[in-house]
Amino acid sequence: MRQELRFCTAPDGVRLAYATSGHGPAVVKAGHWMTHLEHDWTSKVWRHWVELLSEEHTLVRYDERGCGLSDREYPSLTLQNWVDDLEAVIDAAGVDRFSLFGASGGGPVAIAYAARHPDRVTGLVLYGTYARGRVAFNPTPQAREEAELLVALTRLGWGKSNPAFRRVFTTLFIPGGSDAQMAWFDELQRSSCSGEHAARSRAVRYVVDVSDLAPTITVPTLVLHSRDDAVVAFDEGRNLASWIPGAKFVPLDSANHILLENEPAWTEFRAQLRAFLPARRSAPPLDRGLFTDREIEVLRFIAQGRDNDSIAAAMHLSVRTVERHLSNCYAKLGVGGKSARAAAAARLTTLEW
């Protein structure tokens, strides 16, 4: 399995990195903090998530502003910015209707988008998330003081070479992790974003409140939450499910905010997700006789993940000629639009060579 990295631009000019992987009905993962498209692809903590969401689907995921390969500097950071970023990625990826996945801090973003665009979202999956941030659901002076302290500590300790500070957060996110998994997550915190962004992101998320939008969700919704999650309280997941009409709620026996591959809760999560998301339909085999020998050669390079320039060099053709062959292939395969290349690669598995 490969991922393809691309960039798009948010309405306010921030460049966003996004990746596509897998083949099948589209699943879009709403952005949240502490991601890095390259590092997550090979990580001991996130790789099994990417594989699951890509195995029968075309997964679109991205680094939110301030994180990973996206611009680290930005003019503002609000819930509306995050929703605008999600919409920019969806439009750039060329997906029309899709399942929307919101985990952790990406949950409110997914809820806001699904409430505004029910015509584009076929289903909503929410994991380990909330409708109200820490201060929004408990706006007491003590809660505000605690939140401000956590933000200040994040700003001061995030980028230090000594991982002791970051290990505190790691232990909250994956208390059941191995030494290797915890070490990887320690480093992800530092490599994915700056201490300033981590602090700003936490401050905004603490006051996010989409509880007024949750009851307006009209698409099928699956809500899953770890019983002993120390990052987002279990009751917040339960409340969220009760506010969304008809939502299915699945408690998971885990203390991990990010489920790990070797725990029983991951097996349950995987089964629930597979049952909820639309399955990939097998296409009828394609007849090789539809294609010229030159088109077959181009298609073989597409299957290898080669770009047009490298295909042209390998075949001693101009890039324009390769593009013409691809256009003919796309027409014969019945695919088109921005996602034509990925769709063509998916159809190649049904070609009778």
Of 257, 276, 295, the residue at which a domain comes to its end is: 276
In a shared domain, residues 270 and 305: no
In a shared domain, residues 310 and 269: no
Q: What's the rounded Cα separation, in Å, for the pair 174 and 258?
A: 6
Q: What local confidence, expressed as pLDDT, does residue 23 receive?
A: 87
- Number of alpha carbons in the 13 Å side-chain half-sphere of residue 251: 9
pTM beyond 0.95: the answer is no
Of 276, 297, 326, the residue at which a domain comes to its end is: 276
The answer to whether residue 26 sits within a structural domain is yes
In a shared domain, residues 128 and 228: yes
Token pair recorded at residue 233: 């309280």
The answer to whether residue 156 sits within a structural domain is no
Q: At what angle do helices 293-303 and 308-315 cross, to 10 degrees?
A: 130
Q: What is the pLDDT of residues 38-70, one digit of tens each?
A: 999 989 899 999 999 998 899 999 999 999 999
Q: What local confidence, expressed as pLDDT, does residue 336 receive?
A: 67
Residue of higher predicted confidence among 184 and 223: 223
The answer to whether residue 162 sits within a structural domain is no
User: Based on C-alpha coordinates, what's the Rg of the chain?
Assistant: 21
What is the β-pairing status of strands 98-103 and 121-127? Answer: parallel
The answer to whether residue 201 sits within a structural domain is no
> What CATH number does residue 299 fall under?
1.10.10.10
Contact 248, 221 (CB under 8 A): yes
In a shared domain, residues 261 and 327: no
In a shared domain, residues 40 and 133: yes
The answer to whether residue 143 sits within a structural domain is no
The answer to whether residue 324 sits within a structural domain is yes
Q: What local confidence, expressed as pLDDT, does residue 24 receive?
A: 87
In a shared domain, residues 272 and 295: no
In a shared domain, residues 319 and 262: no
Q: What is the pLDDT of residues 148-160, one digit of tens each?
A: 988 888 888 786 7
In a shared domain, residues 99 and 229: yes
In a shared domain, residues 293 and 258: no
Domain limits at 126?
A: 3-137+209-276
The answer to whether residue 234 sits within a structural domain is yes
Q: What's the rounded Cα separation, in Å, for the pair 113 and 100?
A: 9
Helix H, strand E, coil C: the string for the chain is CCEEEEEEECCCCCEEEEEEECCCCEEEECCCCCCCHHHHHCCCCCHHHHHHHHCCCEEEEECCCCCCCCCCCCCCCCHHHHHHHHHHHHHHHCCCCEEEEEEHHHHHHHHHHHHHCCCCEEEEEEECCCCECHHHHCCCHHHHHHHHHHHHHHHHHCCCCCCHHHHHHHHHHCCCCCHHHHHHHHHHHHHHCCHHHHHHHHHHHHHCECCCCHHHCCCCEEEEEECCCCCCCHHHHHHHHHHCCCCEEEEECCCCCCCCCCCHHHHHHHHHHHHHCCCCCCCCCEEHHHCCHHHHHHHHHHHCCCCHHHHHHHHCCCHHHHHHHHHHHHHHHCCCCCCHHHHHHHHHHHEEC
In a shared domain, residues 18 and 128: yes
Of 276, 310, 328, the residue at which a domain comes to its end is: 276
Average pLDDT over residues 340-351: 64
In a shared domain, residues 29 and 114: yes
CA 37 to chain centre: 9
Q: What local confidence, expressed as pLDDT, does residue 348 receive?
A: 63
- Number of alpha carbons in the 13 Å side-chain half-sphere of residue 102: 26
Residue 71 has pLDDT above 90, yes or no: yes
Contact 5, 37 (CB under 8 A): yes
What is the β-pairing status of strands 98-103 and 58-62? Answer: unpaired
Q: What is the pLDDT of residues 227-277, one digit of tens each?
A: 999 999 999 999 999 999 999 999 999 999 999 999 999 999 999 999 999
Q: What is the pLDDT of residues 280-320, one digit of tens each?
A: 665 556 677 788 989 888 888 887 777 899 899 999 999 99
Supply φ then ψ for residue 115, to 5 degrees: -65, -35
> What CATH number does residue 98 fall under?
3.40.50.1820
**Residue type at 183?**
A
Structural domains counted in the chain? 2
In a shared domain, residues 262 and 314: no
The answer to whether residue 30 sits within a structural domain is yes
